[in-house]
Amino acid sequence: MAKIIGGVTTSHIPAIGNAMANKLENDPYWKRFFDGYEPVKAWLEDQKPDIAIVVYNDHGLNFFLDTVPTFAIGCADEYVNADEGWGLPSSASFQGDTEFSWHIAESLINQNFDMTTCQEMLVDHGCVVPMNLMWRHLPEWPCQLIPLAVNTVQHPLPSAKRCYDLGKALRVAIESYPEDKKVVIIGTGGLSHQLQGERAGIIDVEFDLQCMNYIINDPEKMTAYSNSEIMRKAGTEGVEVIMWMVMRGALSPNVNVLHKHYHAPISNTGAGVVLLVDAKD
Ligand code: DHB
Ligand code: FE
């Protein structure tokens, strides 16, 4: 049976990708940020998941504003990264698991989450930067990828509550797959940031820390926030935090925190890392 071994959250800022490409991890500006990933990397190295389900938003590479699915899942054997114009070198392609993807898609749709299924899907920095943060500078990707895209770009967006419920349905989908697969769920994006307009660059550290606390300990409280409230506090792109709720919904009601780290600002963004596993009770 497929099993969720844990959940990770991370920001997916393109500048992080550039820093990794240029091996700037020990640069004074970046060191504390990257040090925050060491325990997660060590855990992944030890646990060796077979599949990473990466919950991210596409920023215009695969879906443009003319057609944006609310929730989309990759159902392909390969996912290709492409130049987004950030000066980032494109990463090696990722191997998918078509059969597992279709199983998840079918289960989610049976549970009333009407997923868009993508048999071709370019993956952007939202997915690739987290993969690189987890498995950096390796000769090849050590696990397969299933990308799950959430619309956090073109309004109307799904709510934090809907994302949390999607995570719960994702757990049912994974646990009903008969093959033995170790799955890690990676929720990406956030925390507070706004990339344009008068409030560009705003960061609300207190709100970020409260979100991390609610998501870990009391996710129902996080579901009480509307997207407008999140954007007022955390900036327009800060709403990406709703994708952390997909990861959280896929874990058990009580979780153990194996690691938690926050750093701000990094490239005008509040950046949080959390590693959670199901509590035994
Ligand atoms: C930036 C882009 C992102 O997609 C994000 O989540 C955070 C920051 C940026 O361009 O700086
Ligand atoms: Fe983003």
Span 234-264, pLDDT tens digits: 999 999 999 999 999 999 999 999 999 999 9
What is the DSSP pairing of strand 144-150 with strand 51-56? parallel
171 lines ligand 1 (CB under 6 A): no
Which among 222, 223, 225, 224 has a CA at the least distance from the CA of 211?
222
Residues 258-275 pLDDT 10s: 999 999 999 999 999 999
Which among 75, 253, 230 has a CA at the least distance from the CA of 164?
253
Integer Cα distance of 122 and 253 in angstroms: 33
Over residues 160-179, mean pLDDT: 98
Over residues 48-55, mean pLDDT: 98
Q: Which atom of ligand 1 is nearest to the CA of 190?
A: 6
189 lines ligand 1 (CB under 6 A): yes
- Kindly give the interhelix angle for 125-134 and 38-47, rounded to the nearest 10 degrees: 80
98 lines ligand 1 (CB under 6 A): no
- The residues annotated as belonging to the active site are 125, 193
Residues 68-119 pLDDT 10s: 999 999 999 999 999 998 788 899 999 999 999 999 999 999 999 999 999 9
Q: What pLDDT, on a 0 to 100 scale, did the predictor assign at position 155?
A: 97
Nearest C-alpha to atom 7 of ligand 1 is from which residue?
13
Residues 210-234 pLDDT 10s: 999 999 999 999 999 999 999 999 9
Give me ligand 1 centre to Cα 266, in Å. Answer: 10
Integer Cα distance of 262 and 11 in angstroms: 10
pTM to 2 decimals? 0.98
Q: Which atom of ligand 1 is nearest to the CA of 11?
A: 6
Q: Where are the alpha helices (DSSP H) in the chain?
A: 14-21, 31-35, 38-47, 98-110, 125-134, 160-175, 205-217, 219-223, 227-234, 242-250
Integer Cα distance of 144 and 139 in angstroms: 14
Which among 27, 53, 267 has a CA at the least distance from the CA of 169?
53
Which among 60, 59, 91 has a CA at the least distance from the CA of 78?
91
12 lines ligand 1 (CB under 6 A): yes
Q: What pLDDT, on a 0 to 100 scale, did the predictor assign at position 160?
A: 98
Residues 138-168 pLDDT 10s: 889 999 999 999 999 999 999 999 999 999 9
Over residues 202-212, mean pLDDT: 98
